[in-house]
Structure 1
Amino acid sequence: MKTRLGTGARIYTALLFLFLYLPIIVIVAYSFNANPVSSSADFTGFTLDWYRQLGGDHEISKSLATSLTVGIQAVAVSLVVGIPAALALSRSHFPGRRVFDQLNLLPLLLPEVVLGIAFMSFYALVGIPFGNVSLVVSHATFCIPYVVILVSTRLAGFDHSLVEASQDLGAGPLRTFFSIVLPELVPAVVSAAALGFVLSFDDVVISFFTAGATSSTLPVLIYSQVKLHPQPTTKALCSLLIVSLSVAVVAFYLIRLRLERRARQREREHATTQADGGDAPQLQAAA
């Protein structure tokens, strides 16, 4: 039974959303401010000049390309490492597993400045050049725990007997994984990829310590501009990032909903198959 919110609850909810989104609304509004002094709160008129100037800024284009490249590569590495780790943890019970689970969470619990200094010291020690490689490795390190957590959660309700039955019918490990396991993991994998990309794209602290002098991500460039030489184009750039990431998050959310609907449909078909005589037809198809 649904209950309607009272007046007090509505007011509280409105104030909460206002508190969360008012700074975003302000920065988007002031990105159209004609006042060239970016630190000034005086709104002197409406202009699109700051958006036009962004198109010809080579430094911003280069930093954006670096952020996109690093984010995609870091997500790919984290999926390649995190999915097998989650599969191993879901099927294995070994001494020290609880310790491993806690170590998996360690990159999420440590302050980013500590991780940034640790990465910087490690790369200097082993001779890894600072640049895209160091950024990808660093970003993948804090993306992997999210992949392991989300995929492990999805695997908690997975019937592992299907894997054993598929192998008994002659399907190899790769065929079993792509035909039986992976379709069940797609919603979790998409969520992990989206979350990892956003975290990588937004990171400032770790990127600041590991980017080096020749490469810079877009958030680090924005941070440097705000601290060293504030420009009115910075607010326009932040507004474009807000809109772009918001659209991306909504798109990933819709994709996840569609994938979850397909997963529920497969579960209903699986239940129907069991009622009609077991899993043999599905597993024979996989084999």
Structure 2
Amino acid sequence: MNDQATYRGITLDGDSALALLDWQLEMGCDVPMLDAPVDRFDLPTRVAPEAPVPQAPPPPADDDLAGRVALAQALADGAGTLAALAEAQQGFDGIELKKGARNFCFADGNPKARVLILGEAPGDEEDRQGRPFVGRAGQMLDRMFAAIGLSRDGVDAERAFYVTNVLTWRPPGNRDPEPDEIAVSLPFLRRHVDLVAPDLIVLMGNIACQAAIEKRGILRLRGQWVQAFGRPALPMTHPSYLLRNPAAKREAWADLLSLQARLESLSV
């Protein structure tokens, strides 16, 4: 096979011809020459396609949040006891967190206690055990309230506390709850508070304040008595915050003394 070519009297070997082709490609020549010239000015005019008529974007998929909240409200209203409320809330499928959590975390402590502590959501250890406030933050919580003579295991309602969370299912990665997750949990939470009927509520952290009084900024809110679910409530920094910021324990102690004084005033 002849591996040479002649172009205008110049003989090229195969390697040289390929090298020239490569050079032409690098220079941008990517269309081969035809056997006959083409008059580009004589080509028919290309008609531009009609611009598509703008269409309104489809509405976002409606997950019927209002319907889920209404169902949660109906289930909560129909619960006459804490046991019935726990059963209704655990069976409610209108919250996606339920699919990824291991256990339902309803409450812990003495339901006849005068003090209800409202936390945010279960963490990893709570999710494992199915009880709120049992991890490191829970141990800190127990020590804090033991300092003013209150215990979740107390049989005497005067010396006990009851604890629950805004959410009863753990958010993945311990992220903050989404607004819709709080919204579908609120009917159960309101009914929960009504059934326990505590004298005082402690709002532990931003999420508890957001759900109960629609405010955030716990470092600004802490220590100031407010009304939540129709009852006196005291915002406090979450025990997990105190574990990360030990210097804040002084303010937490002041809040505990305020809670103790309020309890004593109600007993008179």
Q: Which structure carries more strand by proportion?
A: 2
Same fold judged by TM-score > 0.5? no
Structure with greater contact order relative to length (CA < 8 Å, sep ≥ 6): 1
Q: Which TM-score bucket, shorter chain as reference? A: under 0.3
**Structure with greater helix percent:** 1
TM-score (norm 1): 0.25
